[in-house]
Amino acid sequence: MPFSQLRELLLPTFRQHRLRLAAGFAALILVDLLQLTIPRFIKHGVDGLTAMTITPVGLLHLAGLILLFAGMVVVLRFAWRYLIIGFSRLLERTIRNRIFAHIVKMDAPFFEKYTTGDLMAHSSNDLGAVQMACGMGMVAAVDALVMSLAAIGFMIAIHPMLTLLALLPMPILAVTTRILSGKLHKRFATVQEQFSSMTEFSRSTLISIGLIKAYTMEDFQTDRFGKLGRKYVRSNLRVAAIQGLISPLATLIGSLGLLMVLYFGGRLVINNTITLGDFVAFITYLYMLIWPMMAIGWVANLVQRGLTSLGRIHDLVTSRTTLPDPVLPVPPAMLKHPGYELKNMSFRYSSSTAPAVDNLTLSFGPGIHGVTGRTGSGKSTLCKILARLYPVADGQLFFGGTDVNQLPLQFIRAHIGYVGQEPVLFSDTIAANIALGRADASREEVIQAAVNAAIHEDIVGLKDGYDTMTGERGVKLSGGQRQRLALARALLCDRPVLIIDDGLSAVDVATEHEVFAGLKRHFAGKTVLIVSNRIKLLSMTDRIIILADGAVQSEGSHEQLLQENSLYQSMYAKQMTQDALKEPESP
Amino acid sequence: MMNYGYSEKGQEGSLSDFHLWRKILQFSAPYWLSLFFAVIISILITWATLTLPHLVQTAIDHYITATTVATDARIAGLTRTAIHYGVLIFAIFFASFCQVLVLEWVGQSVMHTVRQRLFHHLLHLDLPFFNSNPTGRLVTRLTNDIQNMNEMFTSVIVTLFNDLLQLTGILVLLFWMNPRLAGVMTIFIPLAIIITIFFARLAREQFRAIRIQLAKINSFLAENLSGMSIIQLFGRQESNRQTFEHLSEGFLQRTLSQIKLFGTFMPLTEFMSSAAIALILWYGGGEVLQKRLTLGELVAFISYMRLFFQPLRELAQKYSVVQSAMASAERIFQLLDTKSEIVELEQPVQLPKIQGSLLFKNIHFGYQADNPILHDVSLALYPGQTVALVGTTGSGKTTLVNLLLRFYDPQAGTIRIDDTDIACLELRKLRTIVGVILQDVFILQDTLFANIVMDTGCSREKTEAILNQTGMNRFVDKLPAGLDTIIGEGGLELSTGEKQLLSFARVLCRNPAILVLDEATAAIDTESENILEQAIADSFKGRTSLVIAHRLSTIRRADHIVVMAHGKIVEQGSHEELLQRNGHYALLVAMDLQNDQSSHAAHGNEVVDS
């Protein structure tokens, strides 16, 4: 990907902080210059001592100057670190926020393409690589450039030929560092891969520990794990082989330069071509060159990796949603009793060849509509399309009489209360989780919604009641409790459309029946769609729609279907006998 | 025992550092020769590194500035010194390389041993342990924590040892060259140590603050990603974006304060280095003027001072690595010390020839003590008998099997095989006597053959014979490469029915005396169903069999039917007897018949179960 496209991600931040960067680089260059001056003081001192021309006061003077310069270096170094590395963190934050802001706008197909793992990797590893390249990478590049140019300049001023000799090994260092760190990166990637396969192996083994024990596979699995482990050890040694080269190599090349100076420079001093002070200063400059030479190779890799990562981030933040979200000049007024109309609606998941919804024609307005059908008949897909999570073609789905593709997403969604199959709770208090769609709701309203969803008693029983934390680090709720919480969340919003996609499947039939019987009044005048396979619940609805292979197989009232539909009959028969055997719900 | 991993912030302190180091050394003991070699190399490197400035000093004092000596002799001496120098730098290069490799090899090998030991240990812990310890945490112990400990070997031991050796070496040299000047220089040591420790403490705090904030960002992100549709449906994009930006800002502030800390410390050590040079120039220069120090020595002093501050800086940076490695080591060794609650007898009873009688006697059990699942269950199977367990979900059938396999011990009552309490048997032996065919199957990413045989050493001929005998060859022949078909992730996905067939083949290879079958509740394709039926018929012959049955055909094959409800046996007898009684069993059968008549489709069961 050409850099001109990627620039767009970086430029605004660079421009915004241009003064900060300018000041930072000025400090960096000043540090370099000051540092290069210190060897000059040492040279003066040593020369003075050789010729015995310097006085103790003169020495004190020089020492004072070194201290003064060193003090200035401390301040300036702090300045560039704070300004430039700080900038890279600012940049990191800006891009991180941008990624998040983009992600929350994306549609369901996007989340099929990018898994949670991918997105987490983008926001940590890739972002990290960009931050490194724009922070330490930039610093090292500038620093190496200034230091090497200046040090070489000073060295040339002392003796051009000796400079050339001393620098002879340096390019080898730059080239080998570049090659080696590229190789290191690759080998390290192998180590990471093996690390994750080891992780995956132990995870899959431990998660099926019962099976492992039942088949007495303990030792067998340990052996297999051992094979992975030995492979991992070997790859680590391959990494170590390179790591073990890079740093000693730098020392070696630096010392080689020093050897040149010692031998040839020593001769020059003996021949009185340069002074001993020159000789010592030369050595100091040479030390200063080792780091920039290593840095060149390192920076090249850093930049390369940063660019690759930037490319991936760019792909991510420029990906487009497939859901049209038109901006209307006049925002439409909220509808009181909206209905849906589906005209030959079809939908296919990108990962599948068969359509999930196939030529579905259906319309429904205020009232309670039950939807049932076998797994894969398209019930959930239908719910998700109605909630505008997946796109539909023009002219297939109408909301309140208007093609959904002509309406802003948020406008449609603001009409819908939704309870999904898998209740999602966030790491927050229970009250906040219920008030997700209405952050302004009073505690009374929250409690009322919880009462309606038959979860109030459970909440009151928790240690901190409504202020109990849920989610990853909070209290663990059972599947049924989570589902009723999700129902309370939807009820609190009190929106004209309510879509319940098998929302109380983990609650026993009797409780579910009770909850919905209690909600009858609440549902008056609303468009309610309930997906369920439970006859008892379906029998409460005004109309039942049976889906098969993405289309309506049959529809009618409970009594009608009981007479006409064989699938419905068999469901009825089974569930009635099971009720007879039913035990109390296990907690 | 519940607390593994929650104290990531540091050591819990229940195992002392001394204790930990002793354990680490125990694991490293087999590698003492290599470690000894690494130490020798380390001494060599230090010696060579410190000799280099000395050679430069010699060159300056004896040849370069020795104006009284003949030029030729001076150049010859210089050449000799240069050759010495060249040999030494190559020696350092090779020695350093060897050292890194040797230590990495030892470190990785020790970690491999620890990892294997831990893995083996974990697999032999009992199921109650796994119920109270989330898998994720155990995996972290096996991977990340061991990796952390490895850091200690490779980078920490190297740097600690090399750096400390180098520091000592330099000090000795300085005192040897000029005690007065060296004495003056020692004022930097306490100063440097104080600053270093101070920095290391602060840096650790800040690293932790940054890590915690990053974890917050990541978990917020993960949570939002998995609940994105809900966020969008409830219109929370904007407020969640604000929360995220708030977290992001918090991370920025923490990294910025870390930059400030590093921005102060890093230049400070450099400043000390410069200050040391200034001091040498002033004080040492004075000594040179008074002829108490040679110029070469002065230059050498300056070089040594540079070498002196470098290891100090590295020691400060390694401090936090050591801390986290020790915390990891502690967690690992604690886990290794965990004991199973289900213990084998020291001298287990040996059963020479198994008849196959099985007795559950007055079993009481609950996964939690206060929530009993089984109430006083007694059941006897004579050798060769087939008993079907029937009942709705949650009636305790599977729990009974879990107890038979001794995944858990009953709170009261005993289970006996041929009159021997299973608690007196070796666990491994017990689980070979009792072969189970569960609904779920652990699939190795390998050929079907490897999946059937596993570690039994069953030959291909014998496997094929077993398959032919039970009619399961029909299932194998259907697969693209027969027994050599790769299955599992990345290979062929097996259907529920095929998985159960594989499970069957696996168990038959082991020829158990007692067979337990947990029949698949989910629908099975007709073809697998037919093969399964024959396999069941054939393998039940001559074996004591306990079946958790869901299919009428399987139930009817049993000699005796036991109906369970609420953790009790409510009815038992033959099919005909039970039907006549018109109780639970009759209802269950009616339900199944309904199913068979009206739902020809495979999905029938799924609809009921939801």
Please write the tens of the pLDDT for every residue from B486-509.
Answer: 887 667 777 777 888 888 888 888
Q: Is residue B86 part of a domain?
A: yes
Domain pair A1-158+299-321 / A418-494, same fold:
no
Mean pLDDT of B17-43: 87
Tokens 């958790």, residue located: B548
Please write the tens of the pLDDT for every residue from B230-256.
Answer: 888 888 888 899 999 999 999 999 999
- How close is the nearest chain B Cα to the Cα of A468, in Å? 18
Three-class secondary structure of residue A428 per DSSP: coil
What residues of chain A, 138 to 157, have a C-beta less than 8 Å from chain B? none
Residue B67 reports pLDDT greater than 60: yes
Rounded CA-CA distance B377/B569 in Å is 7
Rounded CA-CA distance B406/B412 in Å is 14
- Which of A50, A489, A574 is the closest to B608 by Cβ? A574
Segments forming the whole domain that contains residue B111: 15-177
The reply to whether B491 and B404 lie within a common domain is yes
Residue B414 reports pLDDT greater than 60: yes
The reply to whether B239 and B108 lie within a common domain is no
- Output b/e per residue, B268-306; b: 16+ Cβ within 10 A: bbbbbbbbbbbbbbbbbbbbbbeeebbbbbbbbbbbbbe
Per-residue pLDDT band at B393 (split at 50, 70, 90): low
Task: Provide the terminal-to-terminal Cα distance of chain A, rounded to the nearest Å.
Answer: 56
Q: Is residue B494 part of a domain?
A: yes
H-helix or E-strand containing B156? Answer: none
- How close is the nearest chain B Cα to the Cα of A7, in Å? 22
Q: Is residue B78 part of a domain?
A: yes
Per-residue pLDDT band at B35 (split at 50, 70, 90): confident
Q: Tell me the C-alpha to C-alpha distance, in Å, between residue A431 and each of A327, A448, A455, A489, B141.
A: 33, 11, 12, 9, 36
Rounded CA-CA distance B314/B160 in Å is 9
- Output b/e per residue, B406-436; b: 16+ Cβ within 10 A: bbbbbeebbbbbbebebbbbebebbbbbbbb
Task: Provide the terminal-to-terminal Cα distance of chain B, rounded to the nearest Å.
Answer: 36
Q: Tell me the C-alpha to C-alpha distance, in Å, between residue B9 and each of B146, B209, B328.
A: 16, 10, 10
The reply to whether B141 and B210 lie within a common domain is no
Say if residues B359 and B381 touch (Cβ distance below 8 Å).
yes
From the list A317, A405, A389, the residue with the least C-alpha distance to A349 is A389
Per-residue pLDDT band at B602 (split at 50, 70, 90): very low
ipTM comes to: 0.82
The reply to whether B34 and B169 lie within a common domain is yes
Residue that finishes a domain, picked among B274, B292, B310? B292
For chain A, the maximum distance between any two Cα atoms, rounded to a whole number of angstroms, is 119
Q: Is residue B568 part of a domain?
A: yes
Rounded CA-CA distance A220/B17 in Å is 35
Q: Are A266 and B82 a contacting pair at CB < 8 A? A: yes
Mutate to test the interface with A, among B106, B224, B232 (most CBs of A within 10 A): B232
Helix ranges (H only) for A474-524 are 479-493, 509-523
Q: Contacts from B485-490 at CB under 8 Å and sequence distance 24+?
A: B485/B447, B485/B448, B486/B445, B486/B446, B486/B447, B487/B443, B487/B445, B487/B446, B487/B447, B487/B448, B487/B451, B488/B443, B488/B444, B488/B445, B488/B446, B488/B451, B489/B445, B490/B445
pLDDT at A95: 94
Q: Are A244 and B228 a contacting pair at CB < 8 A? A: no
What are the residues whose beta carbons fall under 8 Å from the beta carbon of A155, sequence distance 6 or more?
A162, A163, A166, A167, A282, A285, A286
Q: Is residue B328 part of a domain?
A: no
Q: How many domains does chain B have?
A: 3
The reply to whether B153 and B193 lie within a common domain is no
Say if residues A371 and A545 touch (Cβ distance below 8 Å).
yes
Residue that finishes a domain, picked among B270, B292, B314? B292
Rg (CA), chain B: 37
Mutate to test the interface with B, among A119, A165, A375, A574 (most CBs of B within 10 A): A574
CATH number of A345-415+498-507+527-587: 3.40.50.300
The reply to whether B382 and B250 lie within a common domain is no
The token duo for B13 is: 């302190």
pLDDT at A148: 86
The reply to whether B505 and B595 lie within a common domain is yes
Domain covering A1-158+299-321, topology: ABC transporter transmembrane region fold (1.20.1560)
Mean pLDDT of B75-104: 91
Q: Are B223 and A199 a contacting pair at CB < 8 A? A: no
Rounded CA-CA distance A548/A552 in Å is 6
Q: Are A471 and B223 a contacting pair at CB < 8 A? A: yes
Mean pLDDT of B111-119: 94
CATH number for the domain harbouring residue B488:
3.40.50.300
The reply to whether B223 and B172 lie within a common domain is no
Residues of chain A with pLDDT under 50: 582-587
Q: Which residue of A has its CA nearest to B127?
A: A210
Q: Is residue B399 part of a domain?
A: yes
CATH number for the domain harbouring residue B82:
1.20.1560.10
Domain range summary for chain A, segments of one domain joined by + = 1-158+299-321, 160-273, 345-415+498-507+527-587, 418-494
Residue that finishes a domain, picked among B292, B307, B327? B292
Q: Is residue B316 part of a domain?
A: no
The C-alpha angle with vertex B407 and arms to B404 and B408, in degrees rounded to 5, equals 90
Using a CB-CB cut-off of 8 Å, the residues of chain B touching A40 are none
Residue B12 reports pLDDT greater than 60: no
Asked: is A418-494 a CATH 3.40.50.300 domain? The reply is yes
Say if residues B273 and B309 touch (Cβ distance below 8 Å).
yes
Please write the tens of the pLDDT for every residue from B443-485.
Answer: 888 888 888 888 788 888 988 888 888 788 888 888 888 888 8
The reply to whether B119 and B200 lie within a common domain is no
pLDDT at A386: 92
- How close is the nearest chain B Cα to the Cα of A5, in Å? 25
- Which of B81, B90, B392 is the closest to A581 by Cβ? B392
Residue B176 reports pLDDT greater than 80: yes
Q: Is residue B9 part of a domain?
A: no
Q: Do strands B434-437 and A340-347 pair parallel, antiparallel, or not at all (unpaired)?
A: unpaired
pLDDT at A585: 38
The conformation of residue A524, written as its DSSP 8-state character, comes to T
